[in-house]
A and B are shown apart, each in its own frame.
Chain A
């Protein structure tokens, strides 16, 4: 027998002081929070803060940060504060721009520039184009250019004419004329200024015919030679004009480009870009001339020319993705809607004559571009909710570059010709925040995760509630009130907030670190203070805020209590019943939790050790609940039927429970019900039980102890408090007690009791009002004790089972 079970009686109910750790406002040392110094840091998050500082400081690949903890701990504000502080000490990152790729227009080039230089280059290029639109046409309209051009044209003309005239002259001398034909030229023998007819030709002497024939062959050869040379001459002319155009353009743009280049002398990327621009301008100066010429065509053609003109000069634009000219320090970007496009950027399209077209000026940046060189803060849940955002974020971090890809690109659905912008190198730190479940799931199922997010900043859910801790918490409350522009709180109000903070975490030795919840309480208390005309927020305002929160959320709870009052839900709070006990459960609805009693009944009969957990049989019980029930069998067998078969069949049920049951917090109650049924000892219905039990019969702590006690208290109060009612809880839950004032008042008045027990015997003794009993030196339980009755019943079941199993007795004289 376990030693602990010997330390059972007597069990006194808990004093009021044990039921709630009250905060003494006089110990806080101030009148109102206006007297307090604001708190510079979030208290109690030393581990998380250290991790964030480490993560922000370390400059190694993969040391991105994941801040984990439940919502409302102030993770985001703390991350932003530390990140912004770090960023101001760092230089602003580079600016990135996309520029036209003159060789492969569908692959825009990325251009890196120091902060502030992007806008300058953009402006310089716009001004350059404007000036070129005047300068280049002016150069080509100049007399110098026209003269040189005329010389080139004249040279060709001279060549052509001299060759042609030589042939014409020779032909004329021989009585042959050059004539136009539909496809070119021909040679015709002439007679009296008329082309000789075929009849006349045939009438000519044969010698004359041969002469004409020979002359025509000769001239034909010369004509062929000239005709073959004409394209070559034309080509030479074009080359010369092209060369002339280049020279004129180079001369015209030279001083303009030199002026643009000057400030960028130390920026090789910009200089290289300007070099390419110069080459393109020299090769395509004609476009600046075409833009000046008025259209002589149809309106459609004019429109087309306008678009063409517009696009032509767009290629000299600078698409500055991020302008950091006004940045002080590195960028800190928080993307609230981290869709794929918002992260990696996108390519927009414009409708043009019914088609969607794009170019490098329509590339739009994403959060990764904006945060490049700095810090990007993201909510991991939101990232995971967006299609392919998580995968592309990881890819960007893994590759160290950001590439613009749409969902269609990722899926390979898009076959249309589109832009392929050059990837931009990525140097940034990503700080994710999210709850612990997501962190652990990602650790377990995403092999890349820990490689890319090596720093976990684990936020505490609660803070220590020591006297010093209370004073720090008071400063935190004061800081929050000041930051939110709320009234100062008087010390008593702060004490009430501290108590509520303990209640939120169900721990009298801790207070909640959920700053958002705390802030909500302060805001609401401030509202009620305002309603009451209080200049400072008082404890009554805080209490009203707490009460109102409960009231607003308490409709379901009240309906359940009503059902109990009306007898629809059967819960007894007086009398005694065999095999029936009040268990306690917690219901969580919409962020509000409350306790409620549930009748648990146990029935036993002869059997072979079957435990029928009806909840599990109908699949309403969760695995933890089933585990708790099976533990009971272990306890029962070891204690009462060590040397004989456990010959019983037990059935257990949560009466009138039609939803799922999970957890083992009712296992102590269930065991008491089974023992009551075996011993045929009635259980007092004014007492409810909560707690789990192990195979040794020891009571183990459970969650929601305050809500459970209060839930049963409310039901008892509705039925009428009689001083015999109360709740049995595990001793290990003592430190979790932070009960409401109404319960404390009832306990103080002797109308309600709370007992803390260490084991099932203590619980059973309280429930039945009779000692459970211990085994004596002879190994037997005391005569008439509950345990003795249980053991006796089990022994009787075993005997009965053996009797059933024995072969039928042979009647005397049967001859067998």
Chain B
């Protein structure tokens, strides 16, 4: 079973969305976890604001205007207050305990201070700026480098109700992945959809045992070896709106996760386990 005790909703200028707040709180409610809201202020940004040549182009003033540090900090403060209010409202609605912190530092460094085994990071992966869908490579890259951490990556304006569980025959933590997937899905009559990659024979009996133990109906898809494109196709056909997979999935090796986000733009829940949890 999952040992996630805390959902860490990490937000900064780049990764911020009211829908993500809702998703994080809903997930915490389902997992019986608390929510910690983090608003990360990037020191690079503050440094930039001190430059005499710093200019900002905003949707309200496309002509651009000079930005000093003081004004930038005020704007950041306003955003953090807004984020905190959104979190508290959502947490109140779901009856989830929440806390909120504003931290200053590189987002990657902030995450390294968290407890990897019990914390689940929730991040927005895309954000529009001036109407442009701009990826946020700097902050996200720093996180994606730490895939040994459990995290939910949510593209903006996406929903996550029916997960597609992706298991590899070599996975060490399949049961934990299945348990989390089971707990986060919307209650319904549809069976849980599980895609098994790799060696079918190695996983079949174990899956059967888990299904019997949990008294869950499962729709199992055996796909052998799959690439990201095929995975996207299977997901579209399955009617599922996001993935749940273990951090040790071969699909995530290298820049797999980053490529998936660029390619499919659907939510991904990556689960990391500190102990072997073989089915």
Q: Which residues of A contact B (CB under 8 A)?
A: 157, 160-161, 164, 178-189, 194-198, 201, 212-213, 216, 220, 223-224, 226-228, 230-231, 233-234, 296, 298
Q: How near does chain B come to A146, taking the closest CB pair, in angstroms?
A: 11
Q: Answer whether A185 and B129 are a contact pair too, CB < 8 Å, given A227-B59, A227-B62.
A: yes
**A182 & B79 in contact (Cβ 8 Å cutoff):** yes
User: What CA separation (Å) do A227 and B130 show in the bound complex?
Assistant: 6
**A224 & B63 in contact (Cβ 8 Å cutoff):** yes
**A185 & B159 in contact (Cβ 8 Å cutoff):** no
Give the interface segment out of B40-48, B195-203, B206-214. Answer: B40-48
Q: How near does chain B come to A150, taking the closest CB pair, in angstroms?
A: 12
**A179 & B62 in contact (Cβ 8 Å cutoff):** no
Going nearest first, the 4 A-B pairs with the smallest beta carbon separation are A184-B58, A182-B75, A183-B58, A230-B131
B62 to chain A: closest residue by CB: A227
**A230 & B130 in contact (Cβ 8 Å cutoff):** yes
**B14 & A234 in contact (Cβ 8 Å cutoff):** no
Q: How near does chain B come to A31, taking the closest CB pair, in angstroms?
A: 86
Residues in chain A near residue B103, CB distance under 8 A: none
B80 to chain A: closest residue by CB: A182
Residues in chain B near residue A187, CB distance under 8 A: 55
Q: Answer whether A183 and B60 are a contact pair too, CB < 8 Å, given A188-B51, A195-B47, A216-B53.
A: yes
**B57 & A197 in contact (Cβ 8 Å cutoff):** no
Check: B99 CB closer than 8 A to any chain A CB.
Answer: no
0 or 1 for each of B121-153: is its CB under 8 Å from A? (1 = yes): 000000101111110100000000000000000
Q: How near does chain B come to A339, taking the closest CB pair, in angstroms?
A: 51
Check: B76 CB closer than 8 A to any chain A CB.
Answer: yes
B93 to chain A: closest residue by CB: A298
**A194 & B44 in contact (Cβ 8 Å cutoff):** yes
Q: How near does chain B come to A222, taking the closest CB pair, in angstroms?
A: 10
Q: How near does chain A come to B235, taking the closest CB pair, in angstroms?
A: 16
Besides A182-B78, A184-B56, A234-B131, 4 other A-B contacts (C-beta < 8 A)? A180-B14, A180-B127, A184-B129, A186-B48
Q: Answer whether A198 and B136 are a contact pair too, CB < 8 Å, given A181-B56, A186-B55, A231-B131.
A: no
Check: B279 CB closer than 8 A to any chain A CB.
Answer: no
User: What CA separation (Å) do A185 and B57 show in the bound complex?
Assistant: 5
User: What CA separation (Å) do A160 and B93 show in the bound complex?
Assistant: 38
**Residue among B51, B59, B62, B72 with most chain A CB within 10 A:** B51
**B64 & A179 in contact (Cβ 8 Å cutoff):** no
Residues in chain B near residue A223, CB distance under 8 A: 57, 64
Residues in chain B near residue A157, CB distance under 8 A: 133
**A220 & B47 in contact (Cβ 8 Å cutoff):** no
Check: B54 CB closer than 8 A to any chain A CB.
Answer: yes
Check: B184 CB closer than 8 A to any chain A CB.
Answer: no
- Taking a contact as CB atoms closer than 8 A, the residue among B50, B67, B134 that contacts A186 in the complex is B67
B26 to chain A: closest residue by CB: A296
- Taking a contact as CB atoms closer than 8 A, the residue among A164, A188, A220, A234 that contacts B57 in the complex is A220
**A226 & B136 in contact (Cβ 8 Å cutoff):** no
User: What CA separation (Å) do A157 and B51 show in the bound complex?
Assistant: 32
Q: How near does chain A come to B27, taking the closest CB pair, in angstroms?
A: 14
Residues in chain B near residue A161, CB distance under 8 A: 132-133
Check: B52 CB closer than 8 A to any chain A CB.
Answer: yes
A197 to chain B: closest residue by CB: B47
**B57 & A179 in contact (Cβ 8 Å cutoff):** no
Measured as residues with beta carbon below 8 angstroms from the partner, the interface class of chain B is 35 or more
User: What CA separation (Å) do A212 and B52 show in the bound complex?
Assistant: 12
User: What CA separation (Å) do A195 and B138 show in the bound complex?
Assistant: 12
Q: Answer whether A179 and B58 are a contact pair too, CB < 8 Å, given A227-B130, A230-B131.
A: no
- Taking a contact as CB atoms closer than 8 A, the residue among A182, A220, A233 that contacts B13 in the complex is A182
User: What CA separation (Å) do A184 and B62 show in the bound complex?
Assistant: 9
Residues in chain A near residue B134, CB distance under 8 A: 164, 178, 180, 185
User: What CA separation (Å) do A231 and B130 show in the bound complex?
Assistant: 8
User: What CA separation (Å) do A698 and B129 show in the bound complex?
Assistant: 115
Q: How near does chain B come to A196, taking the closest CB pair, in angstroms?
A: 7
Residues in chain B near residue A298, CB distance under 8 A: 93
A187 to chain B: closest residue by CB: B55
**A296 & B159 in contact (Cβ 8 Å cutoff):** yes
**B63 & A181 in contact (Cβ 8 Å cutoff):** no
Q: How near does chain A come to B247, taking the closest CB pair, in angstroms?
A: 27
User: What CA separation (Å) do A132 and B148 show in the bound complex?
Assistant: 50
User: What CA separation (Å) do A183 and B131 show in the bound complex?
Assistant: 12
**A180 & B131 in contact (Cβ 8 Å cutoff):** no
Q: Answer whether A201 and B62 are a contact pair too, CB < 8 Å, given A181-B72, A195-B44.
A: no
**A164 & B51 in contact (Cβ 8 Å cutoff):** no
**B62 & A228 in contact (Cβ 8 Å cutoff):** yes
Residues in chain B near residue A227, CB distance under 8 A: 57, 59, 62, 130-131
Q: Answer whether A183 and B44 are a contact pair too, CB < 8 Å, given A164-B132, A198-B51, A223-B57.
A: no
B51 to chain A: closest residue by CB: A198
**B72 & A184 in contact (Cβ 8 Å cutoff):** no
Query: Which residues of B231-254 have CB atoms within 8 Å of chain A's CB atoms?
Result: none
User: What CA separation (Å) do A230 and B75 show in the bound complex?
Assistant: 23
User: What CA separation (Å) do A216 and B58 show in the bound complex?
Assistant: 16
Residues in chain B near residue A183, CB distance under 8 A: 56, 58-60, 75
- Taking a contact as CB atoms closer than 8 A, the residue among A164, A184, A194, A296 that contacts B59 in the complex is A184
**A160 & B131 in contact (Cβ 8 Å cutoff):** yes
**Residue among B53, B78, B129 with most chain A CB within 10 A:** B53
Q: How near does chain B come to A245, taking the closest CB pair, in angstroms?
A: 19
Residues in chain B near residue A231, CB distance under 8 A: 131
B43 to chain A: closest residue by CB: A195
User: What CA separation (Å) do A227 and B93 show in the bound complex?
Assistant: 37
User: What CA separation (Å) do A220 and B58 show in the bound complex?
Assistant: 12
Query: Which residues of B58-98 have CB atoms within 8 Å of chain A's CB atoms?
Result: 58-60, 62-64, 67, 72, 75-76, 78-79, 93
**B52 & A198 in contact (Cβ 8 Å cutoff):** yes
- Taking a contact as CB atoms closer than 8 A, the residue among A178, A188, A220 that contacts B64 in the complex is A220
- Taking a contact as CB atoms closer than 8 A, the residue among A186, A198, A228 that contacts B56 in the complex is A186
Q: How near does chain B come to A690, taking the closest CB pair, in angstroms?
A: 95
User: What CA separation (Å) do A178 and B55 show in the bound complex?
Assistant: 11
User: What CA separation (Å) do A419 and B93 show in the bound complex?
Assistant: 39
Residues in chain B near residue A164, CB distance under 8 A: 132, 134
Q: How near does chain A come to B238, taking the closest CB pair, in angstroms?
A: 17
Residues in chain B near residue A197, CB distance under 8 A: 47, 50-51
- Taking a contact as CB atoms closer than 8 A, the residue among A179, A182, A296 that contacts B76 in the complex is A182
B161 to chain A: closest residue by CB: A296
